[in-house]
Amino acid sequence: MLLDAIGSGLLQLATPQAMLFMCIGVVYGLIVGILPGLGGIVAMALLLPFTYGFETAATLALLLGAHIATIWGSSVTSILFRVPGAAKSLALCFDGYPMTQQGRAKQALGASGFAAMLGGVIGAIFLAISIPVVRPIMLALGPSEYLMMALWGLTVIATFSEGTLIKGMIAACVGVLLAFVGMDPVTATPRFTFGTIYLLDGISFPVAMIGLFAVAEMMKLYVKGGKIVEGDVSDETSTVMEGIRDVIRNRWLVLRSSLLGLWIGVLPGIGASVGGIAAYAQAVQTSGPDEQFGNGNVKGVIAPDATLGANEGGGLMPTLAFGIPGGESMAILLVAFINLGIAPGPQMLTDQLDVVFSLIWIVVIANVLTTGLGLLAAPWLAGLPALNPKIMIPLVLSVCFLGAYATRGMIEDVVTAAGFGVLGYVMDRYNYSRANLVIGMVLATMIERNLQISLTLYGDWFIFTRPITTAMFAFVVLTICLPFWRSWRKRRAAEARA
Amino acid sequence: MRRLVQENILALLLLALFVAILVMSFGYGPRARMVPVPISVLGILLTLAQLYWQNTRPEDDLHVDLLQVLTKEDKSRPASPAPDVPEPDRAEGGSIWVALGFVGALLALMLLVGPFIGLFLFITGYLTASRYGNLLLALGLAASMSVALYLIFVIGLQLQVYHGVLDPVVRSLGL
């Protein structure tokens, strides 16, 4: 039955309309993904009105193909401009951007695209294999476990804030508090809105990112002078093929990261934002003692991209099996399902397995298409950071402010982006981690929501009354202690050498 | 202004922010303040620790963190490398106040006349002021960029255009 469904799923896609729609979706997604502030959910939401009246496979190919392509598009801006196109691509700024600064942008883009493709394919394959196994595990997790997942995401900050630990944690606290601006979803209390209607909806996350990274980077570029790429671009010796070879050399890292992305995608509501950071952290933790991260280590690009690629396949599982979106883009897909007359639920994994495998095949093919097109464009894209800053600054600023406005169609968001731009410049200048602020913003609502539900359902001592939660809490504590332990080891090693 | 003074001012501003949030949080119900209050308190403690740290260490150690002291690392060892921010090339770099100025200018233009006219005027003005080619080149580049963005955002992505605060004034003049 499984093999029949796999074959049937592929056959449904083997129509000219389905393949054409997928190609259109991929090209559209790449363009939208590169635009700051826009990402998968915007791309899919805008396509939704155009999907009525077409065959099911073609519609799904268009939507999911566009979404897959935006993931790599947002990786491109993270690597080339240090502007995460979406929250999930934040981790690519840590090592991808330094690679661009070192004149290795082609290598970074090659590694990024190929890792994302492999991650997507591996994720899809393992998803297909693990369908019978995943369901009982998903049913065993509750809000207290999701709370621990979110807390672990925050404590990962401690892992790569080593050396500026206090400032990093301060930035994370600011980020968490910024996320609470707006209407509290639990108590319907307006918090920190100062009586304004605009702030009732809270601070838009893409707008904050545009300001923190794009606007701040353009200000920094102006003050610093010179170009983003420190070396002469004509001396660029890296190639796309180097990046591809790096991925093949680090195949076990790709596999680990892909499985991590798959499982994070399977857990509903977590989203890829945690996955990218978690993948980066596991690359750091599993690296050799002499390896440095944050200075252009290609592993810091490979791990997050493989995770992001696999995450989409994983996100299909809760969406199809329970009607619970695995992420915001899956929510759009859910709407499309209903419009197409497909009812998500347990029967998807039994009676409509062919639809499930159609989607899995779309993930695989769209990843290959996206990587193919992206790698063809990579040598040209790699030249963008070397543009004269006199051209780059006004153009990038204009696109970013327009992107901020386009996020919600509110002109006040442009003011917010400008404010965050100033904040981002100040944070960068005085070594307060912007990445930690963003992580705090992403995880804050998840922490609060799951904490409230856990206290209501399980009582005040839920951390110790639920075994899985207790184990995860112990892991969180271990992660906090990791930087201290690593420093103690380094001190011991230095004393031994002396 | 010395770096240490700047760092202290920033830390004090952060401290004031956390205190303000803590005070505001007590105006909300118990459930609404359940997470903001402990996070604010944590922020206050961390900021006080940072203030203590950066004022009791020599200025050139500002990038070394409490972590090293807690684990009793050898102070004679080089500090953790600071982020690799190159020194501004005074011949090429600009003033932060000018950078703030052009961000403010673009913001003001977008608010007054709308995003697309605003960015057209901004790009033209910036390229002209920075002497990137002549006025004609600046106008051409600005126009191309504006048209391309209009096609992408308005035609392609169906964005509703904001016409700016001055739109009623412009309409009343019959323009």
What's the complex ipTM? Answer: 0.82
Per-window interface: B 94-133 vs A, CB < 8 A: 94-96, 98-100, 102-104, 106-107, 110-111, 115-116, 119, 122-123, 126-127, 130, 132
Chain B residue numbers with beta carbons less than 8 Å from the beta carbon of A162 are 67, 80
**Residues of chain A above pLDDT 90, percent:** 13
By the CB < 8 Å criterion, does B143 face chain A?
no
**Which amino acid makes up residue A177?**
L
B57-70 mean pLDDT? 43
φ, ψ dihedrals at A448, nearest 5°: -65, -45
**Which amino acid makes up residue A322?**
F
- Quick check: A306 and A254 in contact, CB under 8 A? yes
pLDDT tier, B20 (very low <50, low <70, confident <90, very high otherwise): very high
| Tokens of residue A371, six digits | 């990587």
A232, pLDDT greater than 60: no
H/E run at residue A182: strand A182-183
A452-463 mean pLDDT? 88
pLDDT at B76: 37
Chain A residue numbers with beta carbons less than 8 Å from the beta carbon of B34 are 448, 451-452
A400-422 mean pLDDT? 89
Convert the pLDDT of each residue in A421-433 to its tens digit: 999 999 988 888 8
Residue by residue, DSSP assigns B9-62 as: HHHHHHHHHHHHHHHHHTTS-TTTTTTHHHHHHHHHHHHHHHHHHHHHS-GGGT
Q: Report the residue of A44, A94, A99, A164 to disrupt the B interface, i.e. the one with the largest count of B CBs within 10 Å.
A: A164
- Classify each residue of A94-108 as buried b or exposed e, where b means 16 or more C-beta atoms within 10 Å of its C-beta: bbbbbbbbbbbbbbb
B167, pLDDT greater than 60: yes
Contact A173 B42 (CB under 8 A): yes
pLDDT tier, A163 (very low <50, low <70, confident <90, very high otherwise): very low
Report the residue from A180, A225, A394 with minimal CB separation from B122: A394
pLDDT at A157: 60
By the CB < 8 Å criterion, does B69 face chain A?
no
pLDDT at A135: 61
Convert the pLDDT of each residue in A92-130 to its tens digit: 888 888 888 888 888 999 999 999 999 988 888 877 777
| Tokens of residue A68, six digits | 């897959």
Chain B residue numbers with beta carbons less than 8 Å from the beta carbon of A395 are 123, 145
A300, pLDDT greater than 70: yes
Report the residue from A230, A414, A491 with minimal CB separation from B110: A414
Chain B residue numbers with beta carbons less than 8 Å from the beta carbon of A226 are 86, 89, 92-93
Which range, A232-236, A267-271, A408-412, B155-159, is most confident? A408-412
A454-478 mean pLDDT? 87
pLDDT at A45: 64
Contact B32 A191 (CB under 8 A): yes
pLDDT at B58: 53
pLDDT at B91: 43
Q: Report the residue of A41, A167, A460 to disrupt the B interface, i.e. the one with the largest count of B CBs within 10 Å.
A: A167
pLDDT at A91: 83
CA distances from A12 to A124, A355, A362, A366 (A): 17, 9, 10, 15
pLDDT at A123: 83
